[in-house]
Chain A
């Protein structure tokens, strides 16, 4: 069965995927942290036809720590909310980790992002692996794969349950009984994990999408808890392989892209930046470098095997323009990819159903997915 058209996401953090991308940015270095620059990038992404932008984040400064690249970054949720209010159909997905953050706050922030965006919020589940983050948060360090996985899974469960803790129709405005709320439609989540517990319910009414779309690196969270698995591999064959066992309803391929511009080839542009810092290859990402039509062909090749792609442009100010003029129009013209429709939620754009609250009922709670298996 042919898959529906590809959905396109783009990472818009910083000046691009290359650590020295700021050298080729179309603005002065400090302008990176201005609202005007953020709104401009979001407008280009929306107009181009991307379904979703993602926003990388950490409490630690971006970059390798050698201080040569940008060390400034506005928090992902603040940027996402600002982008949501500056756009009308674009999905927005900040990276947030529950390694040290309070899951209660993370849940409220994402639910609120879904409200301010009228149902366009996503969440890229992150992990704070660097022990320096513990000092920055002022919390005991979480070390080792098992502990990191536990904090990620527990946080995700708490966040999801808090989203579900208000049934959709909890606000009743019953003048006859003087009640604004029906407390029987609000639920304590009573989460009790190994290291902490959370009572609930949320302080934010249920998000418009029920649950914002959860994106997570393949294998990071238990099957059934993410909506979109971010998959990758150094070759298209590896991408296909990982997509086939993604453990989530949808799989998006991670692709780094460097494109030829009217003045310079991708190779020349990359070489220019390599004078300052290396662009290290990542085993979990495909990398494409070359002319726009070659990227169209690559995406056409992947279209039967993944549901979407997340692009990581070498330099946002340069590659986003080429994507917008030469790549996305080609994909849309051939119906290999689709734009989000006005007035639709991110879930609808992705073909994902709107989940009922797991507490919804006429009595009995719906079991959590992991309990079903």
Chain B
């Protein structure tokens, strides 16, 4: 077998092996999206009820709580960026990190120092490589977050918020919103201080509080932050799987293309080799014939 042909065959083997891997990853992600999506949906009743309750308390009580009152001159903000642990998901992690950079830049314009809290190895590596300060980081659960993880992260954020010195005045979460199988967009959400929207769908009922409004708010707000963080993590996980599925699908398609063109090249090389062999034989026979004709 000719050298050229052998090179083509070797490259084809390697592309085929890669294609098997990307195809497998595509199928795995495809099956996990559905599960991740179901988890987002399953967690939304809790998040909705909590949001409603928090809005109700914040609207009706005139209680001053560090978690609801906006500081007159905010100086620090905690920014939670949720990215992936692993790559192979196209621009997913990068898009979230870039959105985080934008958010931090706009905070800086307002004269606010941002502390970065990172979820996902990709975000942590990005910050470490650029020697940026990291206030807190968590890795290892980006594709399947549990509520305990959300609680761990929110505990750190709330501690930063309630700290005596250099406490954070704002809390922003940057995550990737899962809109549909094909659309996922990185978004920045301000979680604290609470932005009380105008009461949705008519007036909220005049609640009685047990034991009293400030106690309820005290207990409610940490849970609210947890629920928001958890929801952001779940949506990010679903988006990660969707992004990975898409990236792996185009990698598989690409491998198909490559195999096709390599097959053509290999065929051409094989034919060229045969043609060459034939002409060598014919040439050799001719030379032999003319040599024997000359000797007679």
Do A and B interact? no
The chain A residues found within 8 Å of chain B, CB to CB, are none
